[in-house]
Amino acid sequence: MSKSPLGQPPAPPELNMTFEDAGPPDAPPPASPKKSLRANTIIVMLGTLGSRLSGIVRQQIINTFAPALTDAFTVAVKVPNLLRELLAEGALVNSFIPVYKTLDPQGRRELAQAFSGVLIAVNLLLMAAGIFAAPWIVDLLLASNSNVDRDLTLFMTRMLMPFLMLISLSAIAMGLLNADEHFRESSFAPVAFNIASIIALILLPHSATWLAFGWLLGGVAQLVVQLPALNRFGLLPTPSLKGHPAVGRVLKQMAPFTLTAGARQILNVYVTSLLSNAQQFPKGTQTGYSNAEALFTMVNGLFVVSPVLAVFPRFSQAAAEKDWAQFRALTASTIRTTTFLAAPMSALLIALAPFAVSMINLTPPRGVQELDKFAAGSGILFGWALALVPWALVTVLLRTFYARERTREAVTISAIGFVLEVALYRLLVPPLGLIGFGLSTTISGLLMTAALIYLYRRAVGFPTREVTGHLLRVVPLAAVSGGAAWLIARALPIQPGFILTSIPVLALAGGTGLAVYLGGALALRMPEVAAVTRRLKR
């Protein structure tokens, strides 16, 4: 796809829209009976909310297991997760949908059949290779003086390898449903994963075998709940190894994405190895990292990824039609919406990180390892909260490149960013400790944002004035709301560490911070708060 020669024109009227009214004011109604972008966004956000909340419950139950077991499980589950991002969720959605949208109905069916057959074959080979190479992979993930049990990690790694196939098949189903804007089943599929895992974790013994089995059972549930919808909409493919010309286009888009996903996995491998260093971090740090990750991904998934996922098919459609005015309008509205939601969440997580991590603990920390696990989760979440807004911008901007099939540019910036992040970890984590993770992620996110905006502006013109003006309002306002929440939490005679004592602090301090933020947004007459108010009234 060639770059547009367009420069950056004055902001068109449609750049002042939100998800509430995305699209030019005089645009005709869509020809197909698809839901509105607002309805799609609400469905995806509700599905994400259900997924993240049930994921928190799942993490709470996992935390009742022995720290030595949960540390080993946290490392072991990374192995199929490293591979699934290379082949499944991110790569498939960002590479498959733009190509799929350019085909006629028959071509779409043939592409789905051919691509699913290729992906299944590749996954079978990788599963076998992963089981065979598990000892080498585990040694790569763990430090030589590891605070994690190597033999237990190796056993669970081999047990969890089939999860790669389950999540890849689920990703195919999700990609097909999302491409046709059927978001309900795909958005709630992760809820099925969590519910099945929770039931298994409650009913089965607290052992390595059953902990891994519960995870696999969740993967089966996530796939199965999407099959009726695929069948109902005529999208259920029959996997085939028969070739299709569009498969090459998808693989061409996936190849550079695999490069950036690979760079991100280098980062994940380094972090896992770093956290397992017994000289720098105590036992329980891996589990603390997982707890912080569960909370951060809940916030990021709900307020950033969900709106972007809902609008991505529209980005792809506008790019296919070369409607660059609409494309810029969608970019501006998506950035405004995601950062309006992400900024206060970032500030509140910074102010209330220990109390937020306490939501994972069903019992007060007891013993040194339990205290270390809690401290690690609090420190890591505090640092990551700093990165929420920069990475909201990165998330939106990357999708605009994938939609235009400018994958090479996007993944080059991403790969450089992740390599930079590894270098920053090596530079900042030893002297600063756990907060060094968040600072490194924030710096790399800011630099990636600047590079992506530069390339976007050269191609189709970037709505700089509107985005900059919006950020200059929401970021300071969020900082004030976070300060108000911190002062309330400091004034309360309650210590973090236990879910029941932390809920009142989060409700009072967090509620105060949100009230300050929304009050300021109303005073500034920001259009996003009006959209939120209308939704609350409904």
pLDDT tens digits along 132-170: 999 998 988 888 888 888 999 999 999 998 888 888 888
Highest-pLDDT range among 34-43, 190-199, 281-290, 402-411: 190-199
Q: Which two tokens stand for residue 263?
A: 């760079």
pTM of the model: 0.69
Name beta bridge partners: 277.
146
Confidence of residue 4 (pLDDT cuts 50, 70, 90): very low
Arithmetic mean of pLDDT over the chain: 82
State yes or no: pLDDT of 453 exceeds 90. Answer: yes
Residue located via tokens 């947004």: 521
Q: Dihedrals φ, ψ of 321, to 5°?
A: -90, 0
Q: SS3 for 167-225, per residue?
A: HHHHHHHHHHHHHCCCHHHHHHHHHHHHHHHHHHHHHCCCCHHHHHHHHHHHHHHHHHC
d(CA 196, CA 7): 51
Residue 534 confidence (pLDDT) above 50: yes
Asked if the model's pLDDT at residue 327 lies above 90, the reply is: yes
Please say if the pLDDT value at position 340 is more than 90.
Answer: yes
Higher-confidence residue of 304 and 43: namely 304
309 within 8 A of 45, measured Cβ to Cβ = no
How much is the average pLDDT of 329-348?
A: 94
Q: Which of 26-35, 55-64, 74-83, 164-173 has the lowest mean pLDDT?
A: 26-35
More confident residue, 525 or 366: 525
Residue labelled with tokens 């900042």: 428
Categorize the per-residue pLDDT at 256 as very low, low, confident or very high, splitting at 50, 70 and 90: low
The CA–CA distances, whole Å, from 350 to 391, 401, 497, 518 equal 16, 31, 16, 18
Where residue 23 falls among pLDDT bands split at 50, 70, 90? Answer: very low
Q: Show the DSSP H helices in 359-463 as ranges.
A: 367-385, 388-403, 407-432, 435-460
What is the share, in percent, of the chain residues with pLDDT greater than 70?
85
In this structure, what DSSP letter does residue 538 have? -
Output the pLDDT for position 532: 60
Q: What is the DSSP letter of 226?
A: T
Distance CA 470, CA 451 (A): 19
* Inter-residue contact 485 to 351 (CB < 8 Å): yes
Domain assignments of the chain as residue spans, ordered by start: 11-25+282-538, 63-265
Which of 21-35, 37-51, 112-126, 464-478 is predicted least confidently?
21-35
CA dihedral of residues 183, 188, 190, 196 (deg, nearest 10): -150
End-to-end CA, the chain? 42
Amino acid at 482: G
- The pLDDT score that the predictor gives to residue 10 is 31
Give the CA radius of gyration of the chain.
23
Q: What is the pLDDT averaged over residues 479-504?
A: 92
* Partners of residue 146 on adjacent β-strands: 277
Residue 321 three-state SS: coil
Q: What is the pLDDT of residues 108-126, one digit of tens each?
A: 888 888 888 888 888 888 8
DSSP state letters, 230-285: HHHTT----------HHHHHHHHHHHHHHHHHHHHHHHHHHHHHHHTBTTTS-TTH
